[in-house]
Amino acid sequence: MIMKHRLLSMLPMALLAALLMPAGSALAQTKPPVAKPKPAIPLIDTLKPLRLQAQFGIWKATNNTAFVADFKKALALELKVKDSASGVFFTVQSFRLGWRKKEASDDYKTGRRKVISTFNAVPVEGAKLPEAWQKEMNDALQATEEVLFEQILVIHPVTKRLQMAPALIIKLR
């Protein structure tokens, strides 16, 4: 008796749910999911790997030693990245500029002056060095220091995807 009463009380709710459900709902019928087509990737990406090379002025990964005076003249130039196989230039999205520089410091224990090496880095949007860093480098660059272009993100000209280019380290003399 109790079981019949419980079933009868659930019947109006089931009828109401069936009337309110749309005909194509998941409970009424199930359809297999339709696979969305993937966008076509050009063959340039799938056939041969890219050989990206960073370049700042005349300095590349193969030619990475510079005179201080020459490097100071090139501070206003842009960082460029190209595929060495095809010669196509990529748009630089951002990079990290690092400067391993020498500074004089007083040793508080001995009282003598020491030359220490410090590392400064800043994230840069775009392909040009920030104005403040151009001015600072123009005033303070010395021989035996290093300028690093790291974590270079570039935009592929065809697929518009972000890719990482290898770092460029320029040693000053």
Residue 121 falls inside a structural domain = yes
Place of tokens 């063959």: 43
Residue 90 falls inside a structural domain = yes
Residue 163 falls inside a structural domain = yes
Range of the domain at 139: 49-172
Angstrom distance (rounded) from CA 49 to CA 142: 38
Residue 14 falls inside a structural domain = no
Residue 44 falls inside a structural domain = no
Residue 38 falls inside a structural domain = no
Contact (Cβ atoms closer than 8 angstroms) between residue 156 and residue 90: yes
In Å, what is the CA distance from 124 to each residue of 46, 81, 128, 133? 30, 15, 8, 11
Report how many domains make up the chain.
1
- pLDDT tens for the chain, 173 residues: list them: 455 555 556 666 666 666 666 655 555 556 677 777 766 555 444 545 678 999 998 998 877 899 999 999 999 999 999 988 888 899 999 999 999 988 888 888 888 888 888 899 999 999 999 999 999 999 989 998 999 999 999 998 888 888 899 999 999 99
Residue 9 falls inside a structural domain = no
